[in-house]
A and B are shown apart, each in its own frame.
Chain A
Amino acid sequence: MKRTALLLTAVLALGALVWAQNGLLINGAGATFPYPIYSKWFDVYHQKNSSIQFNYQSIGSGGGIKQVTEGTVDFGATDGPMNDEQLKAFQDKRGSGILHFPAVLGADVPTYNIPGVTAELNFTPEALAGIFLGKITKWNDPAIAGANKGVNLPAQDIVVVHRSDGSGTTYIWTDYLAKISEEWKSKVGKGTSVNWPVGLGGKGNEGVAGLVKQTPNAFGYVELIYAIQNNMPYGRVKNSSGAFVKADLASVTAAAAGASKDMPEDFRVSITNAPGKTAYPISSFTWLLIPAKIQDGAKRDAIKGFLKWMVTDGQGYAEQLSYAKLPKEVVEKEKKAIDKVQ
């Protein structure tokens, strides 16, 4: 009994010690897609400022928005911007607004497995929408073949594969399809999960990639990072300037730069189908969600300090983890916006 008590005291003391050492602990929760870069950032930032520690739970964008609205975490993170309804809910609950800060960029790429075809395929927006609406069912359909002269596409049925779990990846993909196809917009819409007209569902990027690799004549979409890290072949997509662009870190950053001219003050902007000759059309920001009013002065300063570091020095860590950097224009705007946090 005595020993247990002693042990308990020791554990408690140790816990208190660890807690005291932490100094300031800032809690966040949200999107899974930027988790690798966030944990890298938080780790590096903690090494530079040992009194500040971040704790980030990658529970998904939906959970991030919910928790930051409830006030159970200090900041949230999301792959799709909060909608007006969610902003209003936050305002009603907390009495002040919430700000979006773009952190890095991501993109979706079309991937396929056609036996006998090794060429990098070109996809027009019409072809992508047609395939996912179930209107284009064969690989040799003129809508696909027309953009791929010289490639011998088979007269086989296309097996469409999409994500089954709710995800930011799906949000970007459906946001793009809704922009380039009226029919998609009215029939399906955009969201982290949608009512897919056709196709099989795979869980996570690895689920989609696995199904595409295994199933002959399959076609699906995965995150750019996932495709790069796993050396998966993926196709080019025709952008709004009419050029077929292959997704890479530069073309994704170019999309953000192209869209930054019309960037709204709150950064809630979709950059799919962005203007610019070199812009990759299926790109998106991922955002940090910071309450506009933070009562705790120490926390406020720490968060603002981190944001400033994130958009400047922090961006240097993005590319080694296969995330596209923010373009200069956006960084300048964000620097100004950071002062809005009170």
Chain B
Amino acid sequence: MAIANPTIPSAGPAAGSRSFLSKLRDGDEIARLITFLFAASVVLITVLLVYELWINSALARHKFGLEFFVTQVWDPVMDQYGALPFIYGTLVTSVVALLLAVPLGIGASIFLAELAPARVSDTLQFFIDLLAAVPSVIYGLLGVFIVVPLMRTVIYPALNKPLGFLPFFKGPSYGVGFLTAGIVMAIMVIPYIISVSREVLLSVPRDQREAALALGSTRWESTWKVVVPFAKTGIMGSIFLALARALGETMAVTMVIGNTPKISASLFATGYSIAAVIANEFTEATGDLYLQALIELGLVLFLLTFILNGLARLLIVVTTQKGSGVVNR
């Protein structure tokens, strides 16, 4: 290396590294190409997925058109299919799950990142990661054996008596239903929110905290007014990750939602979600139209995820522009 230019020792390494780099240049290009292909494959898979769903639902799309989105009947015998009860069930359970999981998850992550001693925080984090890795069918069993009886004997009477006049808490409860599914889903997504939010909070620069404390704020003030707003974008990200998981959750939901394609205002009523009906009926769907209607439901779920993700991005852009310019992670 240094031999290349022995007269100027100081220039040796520089010149050497340059020639080394230029040798690698070709390799750089190759690496770039390969990694680009990897990245492109993600896009390709998404496009292919939509294409397949689109092509394989042609029959159902032509037969029902936009009616599909507003029809409430799902009748495989008479070949009548509508997606509305499933869209409704998917949205309601996801919203319930987020309403429960977001405050809990963010609260816990603030404790873990800001207030807890490092050892406690790390130990708890281990358990949270463990929770995130539990298969959803296990959560389903947890729902069936713990949440469902609890719902029937404790939660339902507690909510129905004082709040029964509200349409959300009216009617009888069988233990299974929207609220039960929402609770089980909340338990499932909380680890995601905690895990990601904690990392984001931990990555907030120390000067931010020190500056706030130096200005005379209390520990909580520095956390709530400085650190959390700084990490807002990342926390939002964790919530949308949780939403994505909630929308697509299948196994646990079908075990506790009651599987009835009906729309009811009451959270105690039973319902159905898109992912659950696909999992339930796909294997035995014999008719062409039946199968295609199920595939179209898959397309609808994709669309729903797409729209909600788009809204989420928009929300992040809007809120960060309003904020004090603390846009980073």
Contact = CB atoms under 8 A, between A and B. Distances in A.
B255 A200 contact: no
Contacts of A128: none
B258 A200 contact: yes
A192 B284 contact: yes
B284 A60 contact: yes
Nearest to B281: A166
Given A86-B286, A210-B144, A194 B280 contact: no
Contacts of B172: 157
Contact of B176 (A61, A86, A195, A211): A211
A217 B74 CA distance: 27
A106 to B, nearest CB: 15
A165 B281 contact: yes
Given A200-B176, A200-B259, A207-B255, A61 B284 contact: yes
B175 A214 contact: yes
A86 B279 CA distance: 23
B212 to A, nearest CB: 52
A164 interface: yes
Contact of B259 (A188, A191, A203, A215): A203
Nearest to A165: B280
Nearest to A65: B286
Interface residues of A, number: 34
A200 B77 contact: no
Contacts of A59: 283
A184 B327 CA distance: 62
Contacts, number: 89
B78 interface: yes
Interface in B111-166: 144, 148-149, 152
B285 interface: yes
Given A191-B77, A203-B259, A215-B175, A62 B284 contact: yes
Contacts of A207: 255
Given A65-B286, A86-B286, A210-B144, A203 B77 contact: no
A152 B254 CA distance: 35
A199 B260 contact: yes
B210 interface: no
B284 A166 contact: yes
Contacts of B77: 188-191, 194-195
A194 B75 contact: yes
Interface in B189-245: none
B283 A166 contact: yes
Interface magnitude class on chain B: 20 to 34
Given A159-B174, A164-B280, A192 B259 contact: no
Contacts of A194: 75-77
Nearest to B77: A189
A86 B255 CA distance: 32
B273 to A, nearest CB: 11
Contacts of B285: 62, 166, 193
Interface string A4-36: 000000000000000000000000000000000
Given A165-B280, A199-B260, A62 B78 contact: no
B74 A165 contact: no
Contacts of B280: 164-166, 193, 201, 203
A65 B260 CA distance: 27
A191 B285 CA distance: 10
A32 B77 CA distance: 21
A215 B75 contact: no
A62 B294 CA distance: 14
A86 to B, nearest CB: 7
A60 B76 CA distance: 16
Contact of B260 (A62, A166, A168, A196): A196
A192 B286 contact: yes
Closest 5 CB pairs of A and B: A166-B284, A201-B259, A60-B283, A164-B259, A189-B77
Given A207-B255, A215-B174, 6 more contacts: A167-B284, A189-B78, A191-B77, A195-B74, A200-B270, A203-B280
Interface of A: 59-63, 65-66, 86, 157, 159, 164-168, 188-196, 199-203, 207, 210-211, 214-215
